[in-house]
Amino acid sequence: MSSLPSSKKQILVAEKLTMRFGGVTALDSLDLHVNEGEVLGLLGPNGSGKTTFFNVITGLYRASSGSVAFRGENLTDATAQQVYLHAITRTFQRSRLSLPLTVFDNIAIGDNRRLNTGLFFNLFQREKFKQEYEGLVEQVRQLLLTFNPKLADKIFEPVASLPMIDRRRIEICRALISQPDLLLLDEPSAGMTHDETAEVMDDILQVRSKIKPFTIILIEHEMGLIQRMTERCIVLNYGKKIAEGTYDEIVNNREVQVAYLGQE
How many residues in the chain? 264
- From CA 245, how far away is CA 264, in angstroms rounded? 21
Give the chain as a DSSP string.
-PPPPTTSPEEEEEEEEEEEETTEEEEEEEEEEEETT-EEEEE-STTSSHHHHHHHHTTSS--SEEEEEETTEE-TT--HHHHHHTTEEE--SS----TTSBHHHHHHTT-HHHIIIIIGGGTTSHHHHHHHHHHHHHHHHHHHHHH-HHHHTTTTSBGGGS-HHHHHHHHHHHHHTT--SEEEEE-TTTTS-HHHHHHHHHHHHHHHHHT---EEEEE-S-HHHHHHH-SEEEEEETTEEEEEE-HHHHHT-HHHHHHTS---
Q: Which pLDDT band, with edges at 50, 70 and 90, does 236 fall under?
A: very high
Domain 8-87+182-189+215-259 has CATH 3.40.50.300: yes
Say which CATH class 93-179 falls into: alpha beta
pLDDT digits (tens, 9 = 90+) for 198-219: 999 999 998 998 888 899 999 9
pLDDT value of position 113 = 64
Answering whether pTM is above 0.95, one says no
pLDDT digits (tens, 9 = 90+) for 87-102: 999 999 888 899 999 9
* From 1-10, 20-29, 38-47, 167-176, the region with the lowest mean pLDDT: 1-10
CA angle 198, 200, 204 (to 5 degrees): 115
Q: Decide if pLDDT at 152 tops 90.
A: yes
- From CA 99, how far away is CA 76, in angstroms rounded? 34
pLDDT digits (tens, 9 = 90+) for 92-135: 988 889 999 999 999 999 987 655 545 555 555 667 767 788 88
- From CA 153, how far away is CA 172, in angstroms rounded? 17
Q: Decide if pLDDT at 136 tops 80.
A: yes
Q: Give the residues across from 69 on adjacent strands.
A: 13, 74
**How many CA atoms lie less than 13 Å away from 247 in the CB half-sphere?**
18
- From CA 14, how far away is CA 25, in angstroms rounded? 16
- From CA 247, how far away is CA 1, in angstroms rounded? 8
pLDDT value of position 120 = 53
- In the chain, which segments carry CATH 3.40.50.300? 8-87+182-189+215-259, 93-179
